[in-house]
Amino acid sequence: MKKVKAVSLDVTGTLVEGRSVKRFWDHLIPAAYASEKHISFNEAYTRVKKKYSMVSRDDVRWYLPEYWLRELNINMSLENLLEEFRRGVAFFPDVAPTVKRLSSQYVLIVSSNLSSILLQTILRDFKEHFSRVFSSVSTYCLPYKTAEFYAKVCSETGFSPGEFLHVGDSKTYDFLVPRIIGMDSILVKRYSNPEQQYEAESLEKIFSSVVPAST
């Protein structure tokens, strides 16, 4: 941790429970569609999932709530939908104290492939702790966190890759890809036991030695 000046955090599966994000796509959108079309939830769910499957995950539109509201002709306001979503977002218990502590010692950023609008909604109460929030889809039109994405994040924040530590739960996109450009990375395993040196069970464990800067 000696050289590290900036810490980058993934969101889904790292700060918040994956299923609470999935709820947006698998419950809230189909429910809004059902009420719009006056059909049952199950029928709406089947139709919406079929529509989802027609857009490739390599296409950034897939990740944009506003695209789906248009595509499905849902007139419910996106703000209402996002507010309902926010109320169900479940943060892991170590997030609030760790994020607060980290932001007093490092430049703290978010690197996620959720769209900006979902990130703003999820992180509303943590806004002051993150100096930047990077969405691969909204900021750079990239559906995944590629080496190009991380290189852009480094150059925009003014830190070299060697000064960055990225933490996330995807072995490919949070652990291996950042290392391609020379960032340090740690894989967080919220649901299984860490087995390797580069794995940890929580943010708390990774940053337990970080003490808050004195004010």
Binding positions for Mg ion, rule: CB under 5 A: 10, 12-13, 169
Minimum distance from residue 6 beta carbon to Mg ion (Å)? 19
Q: What is the CA radius of gyration of the chain?
A: 18
Minimum separation from the CB atom of position 12 to Mg ion (A) = 4
Residue 94 C-beta: closest distance to Mg ion, Å? 16
Closest residue to bound Mg ion by CB? 13
Q: Which is nearer to Mg ion, 13 or 178 (CB)?
A: 13
- At residue 81, the 3 state secondary structure works out as helix
Distance between the two ends of the chain, CA-based, in angstroms?
Answer: 21
- Candidates 119, 125, 140; CA nearest to 9 is 119
Residue number with CB closer to Mg ion (76 or 95): 95
- Alpha helix (H) ranges present in 89-195? 95-103, 116-122, 136-140, 147-157, 177-180
When the beta carbons of 12 and 138 are compared against Mg ion, the nearer one is 12
Which residue, 38 or 58, is less far from Mg ion as judged by CB? Answer: 58
